[in-house]
Structures are given as C-alpha cells and as structure tokens.
C-alpha cells in the first residue's frame, strides 16, 4: 500500500492543550499497531494562517478555544475554502479525501454549510458525559464498538441545535449523536456528531481524549483548583473516577478516531489494489 498522508489542522490558536498531543499519539498508535504507512504534517491554522493543500489523503481538524461565530480573522476564508474544496474533490474523484472535524472545527463547518443553529450555551458544558446515538449513529460503522449511550469528553461554550433538515438531506448528511437527555431542562438537545458524507464526519465531543494523559493533567494542583472553583468538588471527583473507568473515555478513544483512520487506510488499500490489477 502507498503512503497515506495526513494533514492535522491545529485550531488551538497557540493555546496549550491536550487535544493535539492525543491526536498525534493516536496517529502514531495506528501507525505502529497496524504497521501502516502513515506520514503527517501539522498546520497551525488560526495563529499562523497555515492551510494545507489538496495533496493529503486524510485531514483531521482539531478542537480549539474561543468563539466559532463569524469573524474577520484572516484564516477563516482560506479554511472554509479548503472545506469546500474537500467536498468538491470527493464529488468529482474516485480516490476520496477523508476528513474528521472535532469540536470547534465541527461547529465552524456546521455554520459554514448552514446545517444547524450555532449559538452560545447558557452555561459551559465541561465534563465527561453520556452521548446518545440516533438511529443513524446506531447503524454507522464507526460507532459499532460503543454502547448507547457511550461516554465522551465535552468542553464547550457553544452548541449546534435546530438542525436544518432540508440542508442535511440535500447534502446527504445524517445526525449520529445527541447530547445527554435532560428531562428537567426545557432546552433542545445539541447535535453531538454528524456524518456529512461517507468520508467526512465530525463530533462535538472530543474522541481523541485519553484517560491516562487527562488524568495526569487533572491531578495537577492548577487544573484541580480550576475545576473545583468553577464546577465544584463533586464534578471534579466524578471526572477523576470516569477517567479511571476503562468503559468510559478510554473505550471512546480506542474506537472512533482509530476506526476512522483504519477505514481510510482500508479504502486506499482497496483503491490501490484495483489500480494495480487494471
């Protein structure tokens, strides 16, 4: 099989984070465990206005802090141009481009494609929460290894609600997951994952988050004090317990992004084999 080139779009705007470490670690893990021929480059999109071209096979666009609402920042126009180019490429070419959009990138793309209402939440969602599959999520290969609900890291001030079903159907997209059921809260449940096309998927939650690294991070005095101050001791204790549970985010981390990469690799291998035979 030929080399699979991965573009990692860093959307963190030079803010320290665990997400990029987790993404790169997952790529290296699939590379080692599956003996896959992978190579990756990181593009600092928001801070340096670095945008990859179309010479990559796989694109993973990270989460990030700050507002996903429309702005005049110089990176936005070229970023959305790339998103449009990737969709157009897949409509016109047999060898597809695979794209995974995480949290901030997911919100930006939903806004750009007008697939739902992007708005600020009444309060920050921060923690490890149950995520519920829709019928589409239950039948999607990428979520087959997860229970319903499954658990994932959620960290956001914004949300996607009021999905534009006409636009979703026009694009051939499907909603895969919704946020936790809140019977006593009279608010719409946010969209937590969407498949935009067979090759392009996004999640509102953080599928890259790993339990060991995050546990180390949460046990530092600075992070513990920050969480207890903002969310309370009970929330902190719950998150630490969930990080030590192999059936919570450790399972989610092991299934979704590795599965996405393996699907891409398998598709390219099949395509390469077909070309060789013909």
Compute how many other C-beta atoms are within 10 angstroms of the C-beta atom of residue 67: 12
pLDDT at 276: 52
Distances in Å between the Cα of 178 and the Cα atoms of 11, 133, 135, 188, 213 are 24, 6, 11, 10, 26
pLDDT at 19: 92
| 94 in Cβ contact with 267 (< 8 Å) | no
pLDDT in tens, the chain (278 residues): 689 999 999 999 999 888 999 999 999 999 999 999 999 999 999 999 999 999 999 999 999 999 999 999 999 999 999 999 999 999 999 999 999 999 999 999 999 999 999 999 988 888 899 999 999 999 999 999 999 999 999 999 999 999 999 999 999 999 999 998 877 776 789 999 999 999 999 999 999 999 888 888 888 898 899 889 988 999 899 989 998 999 999 999 999 999 999 999 999 988 665 445 44
| Residue given tokens 């204790």 in the structure block | 237
């Amino acid at each position: 099989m030929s080399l699979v080139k991965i573009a990692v779009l860093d959307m963190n705007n030079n803010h320290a984070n665990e997400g990029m470490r987790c993404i790169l670690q997952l790529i290296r893990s699939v590379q080692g465990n599956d003996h896959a021929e992978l190579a990756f480059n990181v593009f600092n999109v928001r801070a340096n206005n670095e945008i990859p071209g179309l010479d990559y096979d796989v694109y993973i666009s990270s989460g990030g802090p700050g507002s996903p609402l429309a702005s005049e920042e110089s990176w936005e126009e070229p970023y959305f141009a790339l998103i449009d180019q990737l969709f157009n490429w897949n409509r016109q070419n047999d060898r597809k481009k695979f794209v995974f959009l995480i949290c901030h990138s997911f919100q930006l793309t939903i806004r750009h494609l007008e697939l739902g209402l992007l708005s600020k939440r009444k309060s920050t969602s921060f923690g490890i929460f149950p995520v519920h599959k829709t019928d589409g999520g239950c039948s999607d290969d990428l979520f087959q290894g997860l229970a319903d609900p499954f658990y994932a890291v959620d960290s956001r001030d914004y949300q996607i609600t009021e999905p534009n079903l006409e636009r979703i159907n026009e694009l051939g997209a499907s909603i895969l997951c919704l946020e936790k059921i809140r019977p006593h809260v009279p608010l719409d449940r946010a969209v937590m994952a969407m498949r935009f096309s067979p090759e392009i998927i996004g999640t509102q939650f953080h599928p890259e988050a790993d339990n060991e690294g995050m546990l180390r991070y949460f046990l530092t005095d600075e992070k513990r004090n920050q969480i207890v101050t903002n969310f309370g001791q009970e929330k902190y204790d719950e998150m630490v317990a969930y990080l030590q549970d192999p059936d919570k985010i450790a399972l989610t981390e092991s299934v979704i992004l590795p599965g996405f990469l393996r699907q891409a690799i398998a598709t390219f291998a099949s395509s390469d084999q077909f070309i060789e035979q013909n």
